[in-house]
Amino acid sequence: MSIVQTVATPDQPGTGEWESEGGSLEPQSPPSLPEGIIAVTSVHYRVGPYSYSRLEDALAEHGRQSAT
């Protein structure tokens, strides 16, 4: 069994075997929004087929599913 080590060079920083799968994507900047529009990130919790925006609701559903 042989171990192949990948060493980063200045020409190819951080390259590895995974890059043969298409390589990395260049970071994209988010589109600029018109004045008065604000982008807000929201968290959703999934429990089985259901989606909740409140953790308390997700925990309650999890408890109901675990009780059966």
pLDDT of residue 25: 72
Contact criterion met (CB below 8 Å) for 52 and 61 = yes
Q: Phi first, then psi: what are they for 19, rounded to 5°?
A: -70, -10
Asked whether the whole model's pTM tops 0.95, one would answer no
pLDDT of residue 68: 76
- Rg over alpha carbons for the chain, rounded to the nearest Å, is 22
pLDDT in tens, 11-54: 656 655 665 666 667 777 777 899 999 989 999 999 999 999 99
Residue 7: CA count within 13 A, CB half-sphere: 1
Displacement of CA 63 from its chain's centroid (Å): 26
Residue 4 in this model has a pLDDT that exceeds 60? no
Domain borders along the chain are 39-68
